[in-house]
Amino acid sequence: MIKSRFGTFRGLVRLALSYLQLLLGRSASRAPDVAQVRRLVFVCQGNICRSAFADVAAKKAGLNVASFGLSTTSGRGAHPPAIVAATALGHDLSAHQAIDMQDHEPQDGDLLLAMEVRQLHRLAGDPRLKDMPRMLLGQWTRPMLPHLHDPYSLDDRYMATCLMRIDRAIPQLVRAFPGARLS
């Protein structure tokens, strides 16, 4: 059950800790002015699974989006199991190309949406991004799951679960950030 729902035991522990970090104000979140949000920027480690999928799913829902990885190689394709899981959810990741954080071009109106608390801390420490609003994408999942554990090289069932959770968060984002809609 842990492998299919949380990826690893570590993923379950990090999920539990993320609730505590949010409750204690230790997540490095920086709330946006909703009226100022014009683009949602999804962030994860490699930009080949979670943020890549969120980018494609949110774009399909009509949102202005971008994505990048904190430690990746720009131009790298999506992870093959992520492509398979995305296809099962009705999304095409086959053309995705990763973007490294250093190659990402921030814009006024960006809201950074990370998958893990530790990623929020990395964003807060980056001189180009530290003043930008940032939150956890999992705050829009139902139920709220502030830690979306990295599915890379884990059980295919967890890959599907992780991407399904992200897919279900997208309608919440559409409602929460009307200024990020493309039309």
- Residue whose pair of structure tokens reads 């409602």 in the numeric block: 175
Angle at 145 between CA 38 and CA 161, to 5 degrees: 100
Whether 183 shows a pLDDT value over 80: the answer reads: no
Q: Domain spans of the chain? A: 2-180
Which helix (H) or strand (E) segment holds residue 2: the answer is helix 2-6
Q: Is 150 a catalytic residue?
A: yes
Among 3.90.70.10, 3.40.1350.10, 3.40.50.2300, 3.40.50.1450, name the CATH number for the domain at 2-180: 3.40.50.2300
Catalytic residue among 44, 110, 118, 122: 44
Q: Does the pTM of the predicted model rise above 0.75?
A: yes
pLDDT exceeds 90 at position 41: yes
Q: Which member of 14, 39, 49, 50 is catalytic?
A: 50
Could you confirm whether 162 is annotated as catalytic?
Answer: no
Q: Round to the nearest angstrom and report the end-to-end CA distance of the chain.
A: 41
* Of 39, 150, 162, 165, catalytic: 150
State the average pLDDT over residues 64-87.
98
What was the pLDDT predicted at 7? 92
